[in-house]
Structure 1
Amino acid sequence: MKNKILLLLLVVAQTAFGSNNFTENQKLATTCKVWGFLKYYHPNVAGGSKNWDEQLFIILPLVEKAQTKEEFSLVLENWIASQGEVKKYEATKPDSKVEYFTKNLNLKWIDDSSVFSKNLSKKLKFVEDNRYQGKHYYVQYDLDTGNILQFNNEVKYPNFKWPDKNLRILTFFRYWNYVEYFFPYKYQMDQKWDITLEKMIPLFMEDKNEDAFYDAMQRLTVKLNDSHVVFYRYSGPDSNKILNYFPAKCKIIDEKIVVTEIRADSLAEAQNIKIGTVITKVNNKTIKEIIAENRDLIAASNEAVYLDRLTESALSGYSDNVKLEFFQDGKYITKTINWYNEHDSHRNEYKKGAKIKKEKFKVLDNNIGYVDMEILQVINVPDMIETLQSTKAIIFDIRNHPKDTNYSIAEYLNPEPKEFVKFIDPDLSFPGRYIWRNGIETCGRINPDYYKGKVILLVNEKSISHSEYTAMCLKVAPNATIIGSQTAGADGANACFQSKGFQTWFTCYGVFYPNKKETQRIGIVPDIEVKQTIKGIQEGRDEVLDRALQFIETGK
């Protein structure tokens, strides 16, 4: 019994001691939040009167020395006080005509008594209530510019060196707070952004090597679950090397890589690569293993995009060749084949003339119109409509990136203007909060002579951003049907984050249906779902187009 009591007392003592002492992770995670909060909320900081990077470098060693909650809180209290007085102002009442979107706004951490003293929480809350209301120094949002969301006036560090712990932390803190306050889909991430902060800190604290730093940064961007995220590193050990490729485009189906398009005829022929060729292993790894081990390295809103991007990644490299296992004629064959450079003369020859020239629009059998949205331009729309006006259906192929033709086309497909999309924009007067843009965007015009046939929209994982927006726009036409598979689930303009050695992007405003249903991650949901199959590819069929033709003829 005595042993049990002693054990219980020991556990209680350890718990009490642990609650009074902060780990390096806890201190840095909290400092990141406070630093970012003050950057965008404190009246004497958000206006740009302080060198906010320098202030971080000042506070970090003091934070490191703090051992208890009280010591930590006191360090931050003194730091906040040193930024100058925050004057209380009479807050204006919310405009009843403005509708706010608050799913991303989360300042509850300010009241976390396990981290902050009551006095510090009170000071932070006072800053929130009397936050900066002028023109922000560090961030700008302007729909009229090409770069809609811009992170301004950040100090650049041309001599950035990864061993500098302060600069590693600064880079991490900057990006984390950009996303915290200005990524409209933060609430849809698989992992809460707060948890990502805590889990990523050890990677940025490691003084390992340059590759490890950039790897950590790339892994951080992947956590957004946003197909607009691209991480581009333009310095490093491979920056002077030439990336080599497989001579064909491929797709992952049923944990196999299947060739869907030949990129270089002569090169593929030399390796006996054909449309429908099935690859089951790459350098002795199964496709299932490759899928599992790359999830933290490739950004995507959903599985369809992840697999699409993984294919290109798995079939490229800096070596001269690759070992592949093929499944041919009922048996597995392993052989080593050569990679090919993107600028290889054979590839250039293929690009210049070997590929069949595409038609912008045409009439298929049975009086069905077909439009390739990737090459159709606004100037071509009247001719396209005139040519296809008498067809019984028009198929708009949006498995690509259209050229801003959606509004022009919609004028011919609708009898009157139709609502099709709503937006949210960041509210810089209350960072983290968003505002529903006034009204609902419409397309079309009064047109009694609108197209009366069926409207078919083809989509798949290649349909991203403006492609998805185009599908939303054209779908409101009478008798419109979407056929295909899940789209990329990333709609809206992009914001860019740059630092020494890399740059990356993420979606910066929200796109929703008029009923406020999300498109992010979900994508444009087909009315009729059709996915490519290995058998269909091997038989040379476009199964999505075939299904559209069947639907036009049968209505089913």
Structure 2
Amino acid sequence: MKKIFLIVVVLLFQNSFSKPISETQKLAATCKVWGFLKYYHPNVADGSKNWDEQLFQILPKVEEAQTSEAFSLVIENWVDSLGEIKKQETLKPAVKKEYFDKNFDLSWFNNKELFSKSLSKKLKFIEENRFQGKQYYVAYEFDSNGPPLQFKNEPKYADFKWTDKNLRLLALFRYWNYIEYFFPYKYQMDQNWDKSLNEFLPRIIAPESEKDFALAMREISIKINDTHASTQMTQMSEYFGDKFVPVDVKIIDQKAVVIGLKNDSLAKISDLKIGDVITKVEGKTIAQLLKENSKYVEGSNEPSVLKNAYWTIFNGKTPSFEIEFIRDGKTAVKTINRYKYQDLKIQFPDQEKWKILEGNIGYVNFGEVEEKDVPNLIAALKNTDAIIFDDRKRPHDVIYPLADWLNPVPVEYVKYVDPDVNYPGRYVWRKEEEKIGKVNPDNYKGKVIVLIDENAVSHAEHTAMALQTVPKATVIGSQTGGADGANTRFLIIKGFSSSFTCYGVFYPNKKEVQRIGIVPDVEINPTILGIQQGKDEILDRAILFAKNGK
């Protein structure tokens, strides 16, 4: 009787673990294990295995596994086949590190529905005895050319065909793990990164078409909510059109307002004028088009998405199309032209680097000033009552010499976190204080005003952070792009290139900049009426503040 009872208990236990498992569940777990072993296992991270080939060999076995128990056994046998791992002494860094761990989570080891206790234990052992040499597949070095984060030794598959399921999965697995371990702002995503993997796997496993696969690869990159991040492929112009309108627009109140002319003559042909309010494109409202297409548009926050969405609204394959627009209070419909980018012949009029406005107020066009210009700039503006730095135009590398003049003493303005490539997924606060300025009793004594909007991204945001340390500094404008830090670019696989912000940037008190952007002291947003009247409302507000301090 006891023997029968014992058999029943064993069978019940086995049955409780041997649950059916879906293809998405299996492949999501395989993606995680493959990426973890790639960067953690001493016999993999050293580059001694053909790691892509290992994936291709394990996938058929994963597909055959019909239960969670069978799947776990496949993965455990795979881990065992990679060779012995020597137990190491407690891994203590030579220099004590202050970790930033909001991204770090290996708790999936303990998924009892997918992994046996034995497998979970082995994965934990690998973490505790992880690879400590020079990573074969990733590097983080500031002494190299380009961004510090680089993905290395990844075959690009010159003969890549979208119909090859293994290569489609490889592309997704590579990208997902790049973000999992080396994107500093993973914790700030709107959607949990695990959920994104589960959402997109079915479209990678069995895409309806090449277009569906390609757009799935773009869409998942948009999910990381980073203005620096989007995946590009050669088919993008084929899908969305390779022809552009000859004007610049700004989305305000779900309408597209013309704010600039790329080419006066071409805009005149279509009778497009600054201040025109476009309400529909080919019968669809701007709101409808944004709802349909924002999943393809990179952006850390809503202003960034609205700024970058223009091509999904106006680009097309045809040389002309119909719009509905409002001018002088009247609504009308007409056909306007599109042009290939090279045929736009965009005009870039000469602009002043700096000038003195009425009221002894200096104005600096950051987009034009270079480091060699700084001595002359200082000489020209040192006796002004206020200086307006227009940070809506991407600055050159001029902030350090400017800060030496503007600041009376050195001051910390930023903190960084860098990925720990010997403990992937973890980040470390840089020990060195990042200060700007110098001891200068003859520093500029007037008001310093910084203009910002959604066009201030990355380097411009970094510049704004530095200027915020200046005495009497005031930031005026609207929310910035929310992507501060170096932008690393890489090829996932042939035909698919991508990018994202590769290290974390924070204020000295560790307050985030990513997604939030630079918060203005005085918020002002351009209006449709202001644009139609030819006003720069942000600059006008800054001039008013320079005059009366309010």
TM-score class, shorter: over 0.9
| Secondary structure class of the residue paired with 2:538 | helix
How do 1:282-361 residues align onto structure 2 when only pairs under 5 Å count?
A: 282-344=281-343, 347-348=344-345, 351=347, 356-361=349-354
Q: Aligned pair in 2 of structure 1 residues 555, 207: CA closer, same or farther (>3 Å)? A: closer
CA contact (8 A) 1:493 1:508 kept: yes
* Deviation digits for residues 90-119 of structure 1 (CA, Å, limit 9, x no counterpart): 113356742111111110000111111111
Q: Aligned residue for 1:419?
A: 412
Q: Aligned-pair distance for 1:292?
A: 0.9
Q: Aligned pair in 2 of structure 1 residues 70, 17: CA closer, same or farther (>3 Å)? A: closer
Q: Aligned residue for 1:477?
A: 470
Write the letter of the residue equivalent to 1:84: G
* Deviation digits for residues 32-55 of structure 1 (CA, Å, limit 9, x no counterpart): 000000000001000011000000
Q: Aligned-pair distance for 1:400?
A: 1.7
TM-score (norm 2): 0.95
| Secondary structure class of the residue paired with 1:125 | helix
Q: Aligned residue for 2:453?
A: 460
How do 1:533-544 residues align onto structure 2 when only pairs under 5 Å count?
A: 533-544=527-538
CA contact (8 A) 2:278 2:324 kept: yes
Q: Aligned pair in 2 of structure 1 residues 491, 232: CA closer, same or farther (>3 Å)? A: same
Q: Aligned-pair distance for 1:237?
A: 7.8
Q: Aligned residue for 1:152?
A: 152
TM-score (norm 1): 0.94
Q: Aligned residue for 2:3?
A: none
Identity across matched positions, percent: 54
| Secondary structure class of the residue paired with 1:238 | helix
Is 1:71 aligned to 2:38, yes or no? no
* Deviation digits for residues 143-185 of structure 1 (CA, Å, limit 9, x no counterpart): 1222311111112210011110000000000000000000000
CA contact (8 A) 2:39 2:424 kept: yes
Q: 1:506 pairs with 487, 500, 507, which one?
A: 500
Distance 1:513 1:70 in 2: 48
Q: Aligned residue for 1:518?
A: 512
Q: Aligned residue for 2:5?
A: none
| Secondary structure class of the residue paired with 1:213 | helix
CA contact (8 A) 1:165 1:207 kept: no
Distance 2:305 2:505 in 1: 21
CA contact (8 A) 2:17 2:68 kept: no
* Deviation digits for residues 54-112 of structure 1 (CA, Å, limit 9, x no counterpart): 00011111011111121111111110010000110111335674211111111000011
Q: Aligned-pair distance for 1:494?
A: 1.6
Q: Aligned residue for 2:206?
A: 206
Q: Aligned-pair distance for 1:477?
A: 0.5
Q: Aligned residue for 1:115?
A: 114
Q: 1:372 pairs with 361, 365, 371, which one?
A: 365
Q: Aligned residue for 1:7?
A: none
| Secondary structure class of the residue paired with 2:471 | coil
Q: Aligned residue for 1:163?
A: 163
Is 1:392 aligned to 2:391, yes or no? no
Q: Aligned-pair distance for 1:19?
A: 7.2
Distance 2:509 2:476 in 1: 22
* Deviation digits for residues 517-537 of structure 1 (CA, Å, limit 9, x no counterpart): 010000011110110000000
Q: Aligned-pair distance for 1:436?
A: 0.3
Distance 2:135 2:421 in 1: 8
| Secondary structure class of the residue paired with 1:410 | helix
Q: Aligned residue for 1:383?
A: 376
Q: Aligned pair in 2 of structure 1 residues 554, 19: CA closer, same or farther (>3 Å)? A: farther
Distance 2:231 2:494 in 1: 13
Q: Aligned residue for 2:274?
A: 275
| Secondary structure class of the residue paired with 1:482 | strand
Q: Aligned residue for 1:227?
A: 227
Distance 1:153 1:30 in 2: 24
Q: 1:547 pairs with 509, 517, 541, which one?
A: 541
CA contact (8 A) 2:46 2:135 kept: yes
Write the letter of the residue equivalent to 1:315: F
CA contact (8 A) 1:323 1:335 kept: yes
Distance 2:329 2:353 in 1: 40
Q: Aligned-pair distance for 1:502?
A: 2.1
Q: 1:363 pairs with 346, 356, 360, which one?
A: 356
CA contact (8 A) 1:243 1:316 kept: yes
* Deviation digits for residues 411-438 of structure 1 (CA, Å, limit 9, x no counterpart): 1000110110000000011100000011
CA contact (8 A) 1:281 1:326 kept: yes
Distance 1:415 1:312 in 2: 45
* Deviation digits for residues 218-260 of structure 1 (CA, Å, limit 9, x no counterpart): 0110011000013322357839x98221111110001111010
Q: Aligned residue for 2:61?
A: 62
Distance 2:167 2:311 in 1: 33
| Secondary structure class of the residue paired with 2:220 | helix
CA contact (8 A) 2:367 2:396 kept: yes
How do 1:17-32 residues align onto structure 2 when only pairs under 5 Å count?
A: 20-32=19-31
Q: Which runs of 5+ in 2 are unaligned?
A: 1-11
Distance 2:18 2:324 in 1: 55
Q: Aligned-pair distance for 1:270?
A: 2.5
Distance 1:93 1:236 in 2: 47
Distance 1:407 1:97 in 2: 30
Q: Which runs of 5+ in 1 are unaligned?
A: 1-12
Q: Aligned-pair distance for 1:446?
A: 0.9
Distance 2:510 2:328 in 1: 51
Write the letter of the residue equivalent to 1:191: Q
Write the letter of the residue equivalent to 2:412: E
Write the letter of the residue equivalent to 2:223: K
Q: Aligned pair in 2 of structure 1 residues 356, 207: CA closer, same or farther (>3 Å)? A: closer
CA contact (8 A) 2:387 2:449 kept: yes
Distance 1:106 1:92 in 2: 18
Write the letter of the residue equivalent to 2:143: D
Distance 1:500 1:209 in 2: 18
CA contact (8 A) 1:454 1:552 kept: yes
Distance 1:230 1:71 in 2: 37
* Deviation digits for residues 308-342 of structure 1 (CA, Å, limit 9, x no counterpart): 11124312222111110012233321111111233
Write the letter of the residue equivalent to 1:178: Y
CA contact (8 A) 2:17 2:113 kept: no
CA contact (8 A) 2:230 2:499 kept: yes
Q: Aligned residue for 2:7?
A: none
CA contact (8 A) 2:420 2:427 kept: yes
CA contact (8 A) 1:416 1:447 kept: yes
Is 1:106 aligned to 2:99, yes or no? no
Q: Aligned-pair distance for 1:496?
A: 2.0
Q: Aligned residue for 2:426?
A: 433
Distance 2:60 2:308 in 1: 41
